[in-house]
Amino acid sequence: MAIVVVGLDHHTAPVEVRERLDFRPSEIESALHTLRRAGLQEAAILSTCNRVEIFGGGDDAAAMAATIVDFLAGYHVLRREEFEPYLYCYQDAAAVRHLCATAAGIESLIIGEAQIQGQVRGAALQAQQAGTAGPLLNALFRTALVTGKRARTETAIGRSAVSVSHAGVELARRLLGDLRAVHVLLVGSGKMSELAARNLLDNGARAVSLVNRSLERAQALAAAWGGQALPFDQLPSTLIAADVVISSTAAPHAVISAEEVRRAMEARPERPLIMIDLAVPRDIDPDAAAIPGVYLYNIDDLEQVVMTNLERRAAELQAVEAIVEEEAAAFEAWLASRAVSPTLEDLRNRADAIRRAELQKALRRLGPISEREQRIIEAFSIGMVNKLLHEPTMRLRHQAAEGNGTEYAEALRYLFGLDSRDWNET
């Protein structure tokens, strides 16, 4: 069987094209069934903000690719010329390597990002639940997920923060160690604060307070991750309790003055205060950096951390690509051996039919013998057949992995007469 993937991603298409081909989660099951009705034997859809890809399994890769393009045009009510120039199409080995590389994070907008692993797993699960993933795509997605896991455990491709909000949390963790006993104060309730809150919780933080000018918005965000929402006028007193302050508001001026920080430090002179300012314009008065015990970092500081981490991830590409090649090659060897499996099954069936016929002849000639003696003779016949078939079986599988499976399988079928109808004649 052949494998094909047709799709587009952030490398080939602008967002205005990607969003027109996007599949909402609630649409994928019906889309998969439509693909099956269109002629794909197996189908899976991977749809994220940065990519839309349809995987097909069947007998004819070219026909599957054409079917997928037609499906995309019909399902999204688009003219082919509106999206076809942005598409890529990979077949067989190239399709396998593409999905493995995708799951490993090296095809992502941010190299090594972990979210794609869960998205690949979700695509496989949706196809399984819809009944459109058969042995071929199930095996392909398993291989891709193993590749992604190996990439993240055997290399450093995903170990360093590569967004400013994540870098701020990573900085706090490096300076303070275990965050479980640390009181974190988030100022502002925008996207940066939400990402920081999620990352803080992932890193063990338990005491998280949120201060925002809109208490209702703060309460909604705090409820989502179990934090404490406070009105903005409680900021000065909350500074006293905090160990880490992460601020990200849309204010046009500083919302935390150096004087407020100074008064807070006078009330807790023995405890340092880490302040991370993610806002532009800055939320925290730069003069606060001169206060003893205060460690202030702004977005430029963190962007330098991000750039360094991106360089570290890029340095891991070669190691990840080696893992991709290894797993893809293993899958291709499995796929090639699968192609010769019918021949090997016919060979074993032919040999077993001959064995059973000859065993019955021998037992009739021997006359009355004990049940134990019958079992010994039968075990001998089975062992003999297994040993005789072992070498040709291994050699045929090896040739299949080398790309010569069809020729050797045809030769074996001819030499052993596997296509004849008289297997039981002796």
Known catalytic membership, residue 49: yes
169 closest CA partner among 258, 274, 271: 274
Contacts of 5 (CB under 8 A, 6+ apart): 53, 54, 55, 56, 89, 90, 95, 98, 99
Alpha-carbon distance of 104 to 310, in angstroms, equals: 15
What's the burial of 202, exposed, middle or buried (CB within 10 Å: 0-12/13-18/19+)?
exposed
Alpha-carbon distance of 47 to 28, in angstroms, equals: 9
Longest CA pairwise span in the chain (Å): 108
Alpha-carbon distance of 240 to 235, in angstroms, equals: 9
Contacts of 309 (CB under 8 A, 6+ apart): 160, 161, 162, 167
The amino acid sitting at 43 is: A
- The backbone torsions φ and ψ at residue 56, rounded to the nearest 5 degrees and listed phi first, read -125, 150
Give yes or no for a cis peptide into 281 (omega within 30° of 0).
yes
Tokens 């891991």: give the residue: 316
Angle, helices 135-154 vs 93-104, to 10°: value is 40
Distances (CA, A) of 397 to 35, 326, 370, 389: 33, 18, 40, 12
Contacts of 29 (CB under 8 A, 6+ apart): 126, 129, 130
Instruction: Say if residues 157 and 318 touch (Cβ distance below 8 Å).
Output: no
Contacts of 157 (CB under 8 A, 6+ apart): 104, 105, 106, 111, 112, 151, 313, 316, 317, 319, 320
Tokens 């587009």: give the residue: 8
245 closest CA partner among 205, 273, 286, 206: 273
103 closest CA partner among 63, 146, 70: 146
- Active-site residue among 11, 19, 49, 303? 49
Alpha-carbon distance of 275 to 96, in angstroms, equals: 46
Catalytically annotated residues: 49
